[in-house]
Amino acid sequence: MIEVASIRYGCSWAPDGHVKHWPMRIEFGAVGPEVTVEVMLEGRGHAVLLIDQLVALVRELTVTDTPIELVQPAPAGLAVKLHNAGFYVALC
């Protein structure tokens, strides 16, 4: 089981001040009370998911050309599963 603290979009800036890309950032840990996924997405607690549930949730929330940033410490195997699902994955 994975404790997911937040799933949100971030913004990366190019040196010239323009937006370079708009990645989805996933942070892990038990932040606040354990809540449903819907409430976690609102930023009011953390949700506990299996890796396959988290991959399915990411598929529902975004398209495969969206970069995914996993804020360390990321669960073992998650980056591989997201990559195999067609996402560009970075560890931050």
| CA pair distance 11, 54, nearest whole angstrom | 22
pLDDT band at 21 (very low <50, low <70, confident <90, very high): low
Which domain does 79 fall in, by range? 2-91
Number of helices and strands in the chain (H, E): 3, 7
Give pTM, 2 decimals. 0.85
CA distance 37 to 19: 29
Angstrom distances, CA of residue 42 to CA of 4, 23, 35: 13, 18, 10
Number of domain units in the chain: 1
Tell whether the model's pLDDT for residue 61 goes beyond 70. Answer: yes
Query: Stretch 3-23: mean pLDDT, rounded?
Result: 81
For residue 55 the two structure tokens come to 């991959």
Please check the confidence at residue 89 and state whether its pLDDT lies above 90. Answer: yes
